[in-house]
Amino acid sequence: MRKFWLIGSLLAALGTGFVALLVVGVFVVAGNLTGGGAGRATGLAKGSVPAAYQALVQKWGNLCPALTPALLASQLYQESGFNPRARSAAAAEGIAQFIPSTWATHGVDGDKDGVRDVWNPADAIPSAASYDCELASYVKNVPGDRSANMLAAYNAGPDAVIRYGGVPPYSETRNYVQTIRGLEESFSAPAGRLQPSEQAAAAISYAQGKLGTPYLWGGTGTAAQRGRFDCSGLTQAAYESVGIDLPRVANDQYNAGPHPGRDELLPGDLVFFSDDLSNSRAIRHVGIYVGGGYMIDAPRTGAVIRFDPIDTPDYFGATRVTRAAAAALPEPGESESLRPVDEDREAEKAKEEAKGQERTEAKGSTGADGGDVDAKGVEARQGGGSEAGGGAAVAGGRSGAASSSPGAVALAGAASGPRRAD
């Protein structure tokens, strides 16, 4: 019954156009996905941990029963965003954010080089796991979830966990435990089939309503930006429309839920692209899957929001957004490794264009593309050439708002021309 309710809501939101047929068709074919749920896996999701640290997290994440590689990964991500040079205002240091006094007591020489170095992940990651498991041993007789008790002991101390018989009633501690556990599923390799997202239809409907809108690097759809988006700005706005707050940048959006395989994709899943297929922190582009091997995305400067195929050499993977995982993600700026804008390389392009413009003006010439860049490197205004020509970037593309049924012409034309600023 649940499956048919979901399909009905998709039809209501999307109408009977081409996208609706794709969405419903994919849900029908994948109907068996509703029959199971993911258990707690011990393996890591593809590329969720940077390749340089994956073996360490996999090894040390199995140090004790209360810990898993995915749980350890979620801790490291929450603490530093996998930044080995991170330093907090409270003087916490390194990828695992040890304060000096805790490191002096619990630091481990993980790589056996005779030095305990908080800035060296080969020492800091084993130290984090060892400290977690030491705390788990202190609270092993406390009733309740052993992993939650371990995390609570990490935040509030084992005495508080023992005294309260579980996670103590401190808001900071409960939020910490909820955050780490909420992130855990985004680092786990799914142990079973994933449930479809009930928010998928409305998120797709939002993105579909933006078809034909010119791309703007750094764009989040504000009135000042004339409703334009970059890739992660579009996906953020689409899920904000259904009450789910996603991070601003694409590589953090990858951590907003579990990761279906290519053959398990459903409409509404976020799909990601990268030049480094072993590291989610290198992701530079994101779109919203609509079925049939296509997504809606904001590709690059000079193009418009459109349909594009996902099966390209830089396809990284997908995320099925969940409210719990999205809510657990750090706020922008909490980690020094988080970047304030999109990961699709437009930053470097904008800087180069700005330098080229300065050189041209120094020679007494005028620019050719008509665009200008503000002091932050974010393109503040697309010139007439970019906007007027945006619809020509794809055969059948349009420069205005699209109807609810884009049709086969726009879809067929999506494959022509470069898709992203690769």
Say how far residue 162 (Cα) sits from the centre of its chain.
36
CA distances from 217 to 20, 94, 222, 342 (A): 29, 31, 13, 7
Sign of CA dihedral 109, 113, 118, 120: negative
Q: From CA 318, how far away is CA 262, in angstroms rounded?
A: 8
Element (H, E) at 316: strand 315-319
- What does residue 235 show for φ and ψ, rounded to 5 degrees? -65, -35
> Distance between CA atoms of 295 and 269, rounded to whole angstroms?
9
Q: CA-CA-CA-CA torsion for 51, 53, 58, 59, nearest 10 degrees?
A: 130
- Active site includes 79? yes
What is the length of the chain? 422
Candidate list 79, 93, 346, 379, residue with the active-site label: 79
Q: How far, in Å, CA of 415 to CA of 162, rounded?
A: 60
Are the CB atoms for 247 and 272 separated by under 8 Å?
Answer: no
What residue has token string 């296509």? 294
Residue 255 contacts residue 48 (beta carbons within 8 Å): yes
Angle at 290 between CA 327 and CA 31, to 5 degrees: 85
- Going by C-beta distance under 8 Å and a sequence separation of 6 or more, which residues neighbour residue 352? none
Number of H helices, E strands in the chain: 16, 7
Contacts of 160 (CB under 8 A, 6+ apart): 152, 153, 168, 170, 173
**For residues 350 and 379, is the Cβ–Cβ distance under 8 A?**
yes
Active site residues: 79
